[in-house]
Chain A
Amino acid sequence: MVSMSKNRVKVCVLRVGGTNCDAETKRSLVELGADAEVVHMNQIVEKKKLEEYDALVIPGGFSYGDYVRAGVIWAKEILGKIGPNLKTFLEEEKPVLGICNGFQVLVETGLLPGIEGISPFPTATLATNFSAKYECRWIYLRHENRGRCIFTQDLTKDQVLYMPVAHGEGCFALPKENEKKLLDRLIENDQIVLRYCNRDGSPAEGRYPENPNGSIYDIAGICDPTGIVFGLMPHPERAFYGWQLPDWTSLKELPVYADGKQIFKSMLNYFKNR
Chain B
Amino acid sequence: MRYKAKVEVSLKKGYYDPEGETIKNSLLDLKYSVDEVRASKLFHITLEADSLESARSEVEEMSQRLLSNPVKDNYRIEIEEIE
Contact = CB atoms under 8 A, between A and B. Distances in A.
B66 A174 contact: no
A52 B64 CA distance: 33
A37 B55 CA distance: 43
Interface of A: 68-69, 72-73, 76, 108, 121-125, 127-132, 173-176, 214
Contacts of B65: 76, 121
A129 B18 contact: yes
Nearest to A179: B14
B69 A214 contact: no
Contacts of B67: 68
A176 B18 CA distance: 17
B48 interface: no
B60 to A, nearest CB: 14
Contacts of A174: 71
A214 B17 CA distance: 12
Contact of A69 (B15, B19, B69): B69
A173 B16 CA distance: 11
B22 interface: yes
B69 A176 contact: no
Contacts, number: 45
B13 to A, nearest CB: 8
B71 A132 contact: no
Contacts of B70: 121-122, 175
A76 B66 contact: yes
Nearest to B43: A68
Interface in B14-70: 14-19, 21-22, 41, 64-67, 69-70
B28 to A, nearest CB: 15
Nearest to A214: B16
A127 B17 CA distance: 9
Given A72-B69, A122-B69, A127-B15, A132 B22 contact: yes
A72 B65 CA distance: 10
A130 B15 contact: no
Given A124-B71, A127-B72, A173 B18 contact: no
A121 B18 contact: no
| Interface hub of A73, A128, A174 (most chain B Cβ within 10 A) | A128
A213 B65 CA distance: 26
Nearest 8 pairs of A and B residues by beta carbon: A132-B18, A125-B71, A176-B14, A132-B22, A125-B72, A125-B69, A128-B18, A175-B71
Contacts of B14: 176
B76 interface: no
B19 A128 contact: yes
B12 to A, nearest CB: 7
Contacts of A69: 69
Contacts of A128: 17-19
Contacts of A131: 18
Given A130-B16, A173-B15, A123 B66 contact: no
